[in-house]
A = this chain, B = another copy of it.
């Protein structure tokens, strides 16, 4: 199967980092394609950037529709997830969503540790319906830049965040955000609970969904669009939205 790892940040290096993680997690027979959106924020960190990224991501996906068997949204904000799921003819999984569901399969409540603010993660987890399974949200006071400058110091901070989440009841901890890539491997040995990497979880769930060979819903808010008129978007996206109804 061909799995598109779709970044929503425009930084190609992040895309490649995610693609490498995805390849490490992928089954034999899963080909990882990686793509970076044409426009938007280098690194999404505000609500406005996330909205722009949603548009860019949908255009990116539209350009791959029919050419891939599944999509992994490689962005910790699960950007435009529901819209991508409606748009695409194949399964779409997002990295934080996948990590949350994987965490639920491992224990009772989970934690999420990330850099900086945590409120938008709280909102996403609530939107996934999982508020009652969230034990702890920890925003580590560090920056991506600091990770480059002082990796060991940042690893200590993250380890501290993990320990806090465990003390607040987490049976598993998600490390959220591209800046924490690789941290799960690095810190697992000393952690008291499993550490979850959204990319790895997302690859496995995408493979699982492809293997289940399920049709899309034909009705409701996740059914494919048809007959819509849209201007100023990529030809591929416009074409998908204006498609003739299948049946």
Bound-state Cα–Cα, A129 to B134, Å = 10
Closest residue of B by beta carbon distance from A218: B192
User: Does A181 sit at the interface, judged by CB under 8 A?
Assistant: no
Q: Is the CB of B221 within 8 A of A27?
A: no
CB distance from A119 to the nearest CB of B (A): 5
User: Does A69 sit at the interface, judged by CB under 8 A?
Assistant: no
Bound-state Cα–Cα, A215 to B193, Å = 7
Q: Is the CB of A48 within 8 A of B127?
A: no
Q: Is the CB of A233 within 8 A of B52?
A: yes
CB distance from A123 to the nearest CB of B (A): 7
Bound-state Cα–Cα, A59 to B225, Å = 25
User: Does A142 sit at the interface, judged by CB under 8 A?
Assistant: no
When A129-B132, A219-B192 are in contact, do A232 and B56 touch as well, CB less than 8 Å?
Answer: yes
Q: Is the CB of B241 within 8 A of A220?
A: no
Bound-state Cα–Cα, A79 to B182, Å = 35
User: Does A107 sit at the interface, judged by CB under 8 A?
Assistant: yes
Bound-state Cα–Cα, A86 to B38, Å = 24
Bound-state Cα–Cα, A126 to B84, Å = 21
Q: List 19 A-B contacts (CB under 8 A).
A: A25-B212, A39-B231, A40-B230, A40-B233, A41-B228, A48-B240, A48-B241, A51-B54, A52-B55, A52-B58, A54-B55, A107-B222, A108-B221, A129-B129, A171-B217, A193-B220, A194-B216, A195-B214, A200-B212
Residues on A facing B (Cβ under 8 Å): 10, 25, 27, 38-43, 45-52, 54-56, 58, 80, 82-87, 91, 93, 97, 101-102, 104-109, 117-120, 122-123, 126-133, 166, 169-172, 188, 192-196, 200-201, 204-205, 207-209, 211-212, 214-222, 225, 228-233, 237, 240-241
